[in-house]
Structure 1
Amino acid sequence: GNDTGMTVDSVASRVGVKGSADLGNDLQAVYKFEFEVQMDKGDILKNRNQYVGLAGGFGTMLMGRHDTPYKMSQAKDLFNDGVFENNSMTSVMQHGEDRVSNVLAYVSPDLGGVKLIGAFVPDEGAEGLDKDSSLTNLTSLAAIYGSTKKGLFVSGAMNSYSDVAAKGGKSYNMMRVSAQYSVAGLIANTMYQTSDESGKEGSNITANLGYKMGDLMPKIKYATNSEDKNSGNTGSFVGVGVDYKLGKKTSAYFDFGSFDKEMGANSKVSAAKSTADSISKYSIGLIHKF
């Protein structure tokens, strides 16, 4: 039979503070403390990006909790902060959407339009790291050209986990390349990534297309996923939607998405144990920024 239902979700709502302090000699102290608020469930705070660091002509150095360079390198997800964001897709996507604690990170200054980003998570003995493997639980590196806000954007990144307990006690190696072009109201991008989980390989292609017309932006997203035959995580996703700007800080959106049975069953937006050939969802949302 068909599985239907309705939910109320607070997707990635957050509050926080950020700032900087001039230390003289072209040096600044920077900080950010951001928390997620899940108003639908009554959960008040969950940790997001939280760090302190130093910034200057040499770039920026951070320590604390932060998105990995791998995550930062992706092109713009037009369905971000909704039920069809990349983090809701299949495991190849989810493994790359990480925000890690105990991180030491470096962001280079602008090098002719290119920025280099590196992050390392030291072995602190609490993440299940094989003692003979390496000095870090995680190494994440990225090279980024341009900006996702306008013009051409190109990036490449890699992640390497070593027997991390948070990842099920397995090792992961991931690579990602992204490209995006934005001009006038048009935004088009694509991203390809591969994942090797202790010998089990997978790949994913994601593409977004949107066109802003005044306060309205129609958009479409396509994703296809392929993993080893024993993983049961192969298929495709198609999503369409429209964003509408209600004011300077407020917008509304309507999204519709459909998964193949195999891909949907392994996503975060699946209907549990659904027997349908495809899984579809509608989402109506309101976003306010302050």
Structure 2
Amino acid sequence: MKKTVLAFAVAAAVGVPAAAAADTTLYGRFNISLDFVDDANETSHQLASNSSRLGVRGSEDLGVMGLRGVYQIEAALQSGGSTQAFGGSDLTARNTYVGLASDELGELRLGKHDTPYKMSTLRLNFFADTLGDMNHMSSRWAAVNAGTDSTFYRRLDNTMLYMSPNFDGLQFMASYTTDRSDDTPSNPALDPTVSTSDKDQPAWSLAATFEQGPMFVTVAYEQQNNTAYDFAAFGQPNEIENAKAWKVGGTYQIEDLTLAALYENLDTGTDYLGDRDSFHIGAKYQLGQAYVMGSYTNAGDLDVDDTGAQMFALGAGYALSPRTGVYTVYAHTSNDDNAIYGLAGSGKSKGVGPTNSAGGLAPGENVSGFQVGVTHNF
């Protein structure tokens, strides 16, 4: 009831007719933590907002073929690129779209959205939006000068997403992004060996999931076209190539214990960097209102030697109520000599990477952190 009243208030503030706001819901989540981190250069403590959000979503029965009009506006309440806990808040930084939905036909969304590749393995990520988030190492490569699009953990603007109905536990997702950067007519490239200003940078992503009883499995594929790589500093020719990724994973529940496993291959498309494999395993055990969890992630070498890394994480939490909880996490990343993985690159705000005394990246150095946090959903 309170959400409906608040939703009407928001609708009134922006001049939306009451009838149009009848199926509108206001929702949100806070995830605030105190982090103690070591970036290989110095230790520090910081307050961070981790994927905190405020959203409005709704639907309207169109009265034709069972179709509904759907929409969502989801704001990010976090630092972004700012040094302040909420300094980077943005009204449409998260999934924001309009579309059509049907129980029989599925749902089409147009706007900004997580890719199917990203969404397919969210359930495997027990440490989501914390220092131990598996996507600090999965879904990305982190080596010296590894290219402009170094991650497949993406929320892309200019995106069309389709989600199928659920066929007895089986579901499909597909998306197409018209351009990952400049979605306007292209301009001539200043340097055609590096610049992509004269090229569209589309992406497409596919995923399938299947759930039955205690088992959940998923497979996903994504391609990011015209990724630019500047290798001049390494005496190698520059390249503009299509980067590709695929993965398979799942979870299995045995009473109060949930196990997760993931295998992934990322291909830069370049002769110099080549591709790399990774795997992730995790476990979470529920103890009434409390839980404990752990995970291990291993990223193999690219074709360049010593670009692999390992990360492990331990955590625990307690549900104070159905909507409010507290948690603590410790995570550590160990880099090979040419790797620069850190505790950054996911929904975890104010992430840190290996840093030298001049403030630059420090290949081969290790990163660790400990945090305590509180979450509240509404």
Q: TM-score, normalised by structure 2?
A: 0.68
1:143 equivalent in alignment to 2:208 = yes
Query: 1:129, 1:162 within 8 Å by CA — same for their partners in 2?
Result: no
String of CA shifts for 1:125-156, please: whole Å, max 9, x gaps. Answer: 4684875x9xx711101111017xx7211110
For 2:305 and 2:335, how far apart are their aligned partners in 1?
14
Task: Check the 8 A contact 1:11/1:83 in 2, yes or no.
Answer: no
1:99 aligns with 2:155: yes
Distance in 2 (alpha carbons) for counterparts of 1:166 and 1:50: 30
Residue 86 of structure 1 corresponds to: 134
CA–CA separation in structure 2 for the residues paired with 1:107 and 1:129: 32
How far apart, in 2, do the equivalents of 1:204 and 1:172 lie?
16
Alignment pair present for 1:14 and 2:88: no
Task: Give the distance between the partners of 2:197 and 2:294, measured in 1 at CA.
Answer: 40
Q: How does 1:170-181 map to 2 (within 5 A)?
A: 170-181=241-252
Counterpart residue identity of residue 162, structure 2: Y
Q: Secondary structure at the match of 1:212?
A: strand
Give the secondary-structure state (helix, strand or coil) at the position aligned to 1:9.
Answer: strand
SS in 2 for 1:265: coil
| Contact 2:124-2:261 within 8 A present in 1 as well | no
Which deviates further from its counterpart, 252-261 or 32-41?
32-41
In structure 2, how many angstroms separate the alpha carbons of the residues matched to 1:126 and 1:86? 37
Trace 1:48-197 onto structure 2 (pairs within 5 A).
48-56=94-102, 57-74=104-121, 75-89=123-137, 91-92=140-141, 95-123=151-179, 124-125=183-184, 128=196, 137-146=202-211, 151-164=214-227, 170-197=241-268
Contact 1:153 1:180 in 2 (8 A): yes
In the alignment, does 2:285 pair up with 1:285? no
Distance 2:321 2:307 in 1: 40
Aligned partners of 1:12 and 1:38 also within 8 Å: yes
Q: Could you say which structure has the higher strand fraction?
A: 1
Q: CA deviation at 1:265?
A: 3.3
CA contact (8 A) 1:121 1:138 kept: yes
Q: Decide which of 353, 360, 364 is 1:270's aligned counterpart.
A: 353
Q: Secondary structure at the match of 1:7?
A: strand
Report which stretch shifted further, 162-171 or 36-45: 162-171
1:44 matched to 2:89? The reply is: yes
Secondary structure at 1:217 match in 2: strand
Determine the structure 1 residue equivalent to 2:69. Answer: 29
Could you list the runs of 5+ residues in structure 2 that have no partner in the other structure? 1-39, 80-84, 143-149, 187-195, 231-238, 345-351, 357-361
Of all paired residues, the percent bearing the same amino acid is 26
TM-score of the aligned structures, taking structure 1 as reference length: 0.88
The code of the aligned residue for 1:43 comes to G
Give the drift of 1:178.
1.0
SS in 1 for 2:118: helix
Greater radius of gyration (CA): 2
CA contact (8 A) 2:51 2:129 kept: yes
Q: Relative to structure 1, is the Cα distance of residues 173 and 7 closer, same or farther in structure 2, using a 3 angstrom cutoff?
A: same
Instruction: Kindly state the Cα deviation for residue 2 of structure 1 after the two structures are TM-superposed.
Output: 6.8
**Which whole-Å deviations, capped at 9, do the CAs of 1:196-254 have from their partners, x for residues lacking one?**
11232011111110100111100001000012252753121111110111112111111
Q: Against the structure 1 CA distance between its residues 275 and 198, is the aligned structure 2 distance closer, same or farther, given a 3 Å change threshold?
A: closer
Aligned Cα RMSD in Å? Answer: 2.8
State whether residues 264 and 279 of structure 1, in contact with CA within 8 Å, keep that contact through their aligned partners in structure 2.
no
User: Which secondary structure state, in structure 1, belongs to the residue aligned with residue 371 of structure 2?
Assistant: strand
Relative contact order (alpha carbons < 8 A, sep ≥ 6): 1 or 2 greater? 2
